[in-house]
Structure 1
Amino acid sequence: MRILLSAICLSIPLAVNACPDGPDHTEQLEALFESARMAPNERVAEEFSQQMWELWTEAPDATAQALLDRGMEKRAGFDFLGAIEALSELVDYCPTYAEGWNQRAFVHFLRQDFSAARDDLAQARALNPRHVGVLTGQGLTFLALGQEAEAQDALAAAVELNPWVQERHLLRAPHPKPGEDL
C-alpha cells in the first residue's frame, strides 16, 4: 500500500505557485533617474520619484499585487504584525521581487527591529541595487544601528541616482585630506 501511495504521489504534479518575472522597467527607471538628476528643484524631482515608486510597486502578478497591497494597507493602519504576515507571504511566494523585501523591511524599521530591517534591505538591494527607496532605507537603518560608514555609503548611492531624495541631508560631506582645499 505504501509503495502504491508513493507512486501515486510521485505521479501527481505539484501545484506550485511560482511567481513570474515582473515587467522590466529598466529603461523607464533610467529615464526617471536622469530626469531627477536634471530637475531644477525638489518639487519637480518629487514627480519623478513618485513615478519610480509606481514602477517599483507594480508586482509581477495579481497574487503578488494583492499581497503587497494588503501588507501596505495593514502597515498604513498600524497593524504591523498583519503587515509582516502579508509581506512574508509575498516574499515566500515571490522571493525575486525586491519590493516585497523592501516593504517588509519598512515595517520592521517602524517596529524598531533594525536588524530584521537590515537583513530584508540587503536582500532587496541584491535584487535591485538601483532602488532608491531601498538605498535610503538602508541608510536610515544603518544609522539606527550605529553603522555610520555603511549608512553614508547607502545614502551616497541613493543621492547619486536622485540628488533630491529627502534623506540627502543626512549625507555628510567628505572630509578634506590634509593639505586639500574644501
Structure 2
Amino acid sequence: MTRLTLAALLLAAPAWAEPCPPPPDHSEPLAALTAQVQAAETEAEAREIGNRMWDYWADAPDDRAQAILDRGMTRRAGYDFLGAIREFDALIAYCPDYAEGYNQRAFVHYLRQDFTAALADLDRALARAPDHIAALSGKALSLYALGRTEAARDTLARALALNPWLPERSLAAPGAPLAPPGEDI
C-alpha cells in the first residue's frame, strides 16, 4: 500500500473512527459518596450509596462507549462470558483510558476463574482509577484465589478503608483468612 493510498484511507475514515473522548471526571462526587459510605450507619444505607457509585463508574465517555459497556454487561449477566469479553475488548480498544472497561473485563475473567487475567485487568483499572472500590475488592479476591494472602489482605484493607461495608469484609473478620496477622485462621 502506498503512502498516498494510506493517507486517502485515513482521510476517508468514517466519523465512528474518531478517538474516544477522555473519561468523565467524577472524582468529586465519588469522593463525597466515599465519605458518605464511611459514615453510613447500616448496611442497607451503605448498599444504596454503593449503587450510586456504580452510576459514576459505569458512566462511559460517550454514547458509543456506553453502548459497548452496556452490551458487555448484558452479555455477562446472561453468562455469555466470551461475548462479554469481546465487548469489553472493543471498549478497551476504543477507550483505553476508561477504567471500567478493564474492571468489567476483569470481572468476567474472575467469573471464569482466570484469576491471573483478572488481576492484570484490575491493575490496569486501578492505574486509571486508584480509588475504584469495586476494582480494589476484585483485586483482593483475585489475589486470594491465587494464594497471595498477604497481598490480598493489604488490598482488602485498602478497599475497606474506603468502604467498610463491603460484603468482602467478612474475609477480614477475626478468624477469617484475610484477618490481620495473628487474627487469621
Length-normalised TM-score, structure 2: 0.88
| 1:128-167: CA deviation from partner (whole Å, max 9, x where unpaired) | 0100000000011011111111111111111011111111
Unaligned regions of 5+ residues in structure 2, if any? 173-177
Preserved CA contact (<8 Å) 2:38 2:162: yes
> Which stretch shows the higher mean deviation, 17-26 or 70-79?
17-26
Q: What amino acid is aligned across from residue 3 of structure 2 in structure 1?
A: S
- Please name the residue that 1:9 is paired with: 6
- Seen in structure 2, the aligned counterparts of structure 1 residues 59 and 28 have a Cα distance that, compared at 3 Å, is same
- Please name the residue that 1:174 is paired with: 180
TM-superposed deviation, 1:175: 3.5
- Seen in structure 2, the aligned counterparts of structure 1 residues 13 and 165 have a Cα distance that, compared at 3 Å, is same
Preserved CA contact (<8 Å) 1:17 1:93: no
- Seen in structure 2, the aligned counterparts of structure 1 residues 108 and 14 have a Cα distance that, compared at 3 Å, is farther
User: What root-mean-square deviation, in Å, do the aligned CA atoms of Structure 1 and Structure 2 show?
Assistant: 1.6
TM-superposed deviation, 1:173: 3.7
TM-superposed deviation, 1:169: 1.3
Q: What amino acid is aligned across from residue 56 of structure 2 in structure 1?
A: L
Q: What amino acid is aligned across from residue 103 of structure 2 in structure 1?
A: N
Correspondences of 1:79-158 after superposition (within 5 Å): 79-158=80-159
- Aligned sequence identity (%): 49
Q: What amino acid is aligned across from residue 57 of structure 1 in structure 2?
A: A
Q: What amino acid is aligned across from residue 84 of structure 1 in structure 2?
A: I
TM-superposed deviation, 1:22: 2.0
Length-normalised TM-score, structure 1: 0.90
| 1:53-89: CA deviation from partner (whole Å, max 9, x where unpaired) | 1100010001110110000000011100000000100
CA distance in 2, matches of 1:142, 1:136: 10
- Please name the residue that 1:43 is paired with: 44
Preserved CA contact (<8 Å) 1:74 1:80: yes
- How many residues are paired up? 173
CA distance in 2, matches of 1:167, 1:138: 11
| 1:71-117: CA deviation from partner (whole Å, max 9, x where unpaired) | 00000111000000001000111010000000000001111111111
Q: What amino acid is aligned across from residue 64 of structure 2 in structure 1?
A: T
2:21 alignment partner, SS class: coil
Preserved CA contact (<8 Å) 1:124 1:134: yes
